[in-house]
């Protein structure tokens, strides 16, 4: 599972942590419905997660397209916008759960958060 924060928003550490947590929960609940075997495999391997950064919304959108083309589940986190960003702002793209070998080629160029 890779949690990709939108760098240009310059979120605080706490806000970024919450967006990553939203994405992880959304990916798990989505996988419970649509990708149950992949989810079980991911839990069995210690539910690995990594948080990385892509600079802009355009970068995130391209990444989402590439992930979908590779059959990797995706979710968008939109913030309620009560504090640091306007309502509906896309703050984070969640990818997975998928085998590391599937997801790594799509995200390995991104720096750690």
Residues in touch with a second copy (CB under 8 A) = 3, 5, 12-25, 28-29, 46-47, 49-52, 80, 112-113
Q: Which CA distances in Å does 46 have to 21, 43, 58, 61, 86?
A: 16, 5, 31, 28, 35
Q: C-beta of 112: minimal distance to a second copy in Å? A: 5
Q: C-beta of 51: minimal distance to a second copy in Å? A: 4
Q: C-beta of 80: minimal distance to a second copy in Å? A: 6
Task: State which residue, 15 or 90, has the beta carbon closest to a second copy.
Answer: 15
Task: State which residue, 12 or 62, has the beta carbon closest to a second copy.
Answer: 12
Reading the block at residue 5, the tokens are 């924060």
Q: What is the largest CA-CA distance in the chain?
A: 38
Q: What is the DSSP letter of 112?
A: B
Residues in CB range of 101: below 8 A, 6 or more apart: none
Task: State which residue, 3 or 67, has the beta carbon closest to a second copy.
Answer: 3
């Amino acid at each position: 599972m890779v949690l990709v924060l939108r760098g240009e928003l310059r979120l605080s550490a706490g806000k970024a942590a919450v967006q990553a947590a939203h994405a992880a929960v959304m990916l798990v609940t989505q996988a419970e419905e649509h990708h149950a075997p992949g989810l079980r495999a991911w839990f069995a391997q210690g539910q690995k997660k990594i948080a990385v950064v892509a600079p802009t919304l355009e970068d995130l959108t391209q990444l989402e397209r590439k992930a979908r083309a590779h059959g990797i589940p995706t979710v968008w986190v939109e913030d309620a916008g009560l504090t640091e960003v306007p309502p509906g702002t896309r703050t984070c793209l969640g990818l997975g759960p998928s085998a590391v070998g599937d997801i790594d080629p799509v995200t390995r160029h991104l720096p750690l958060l």
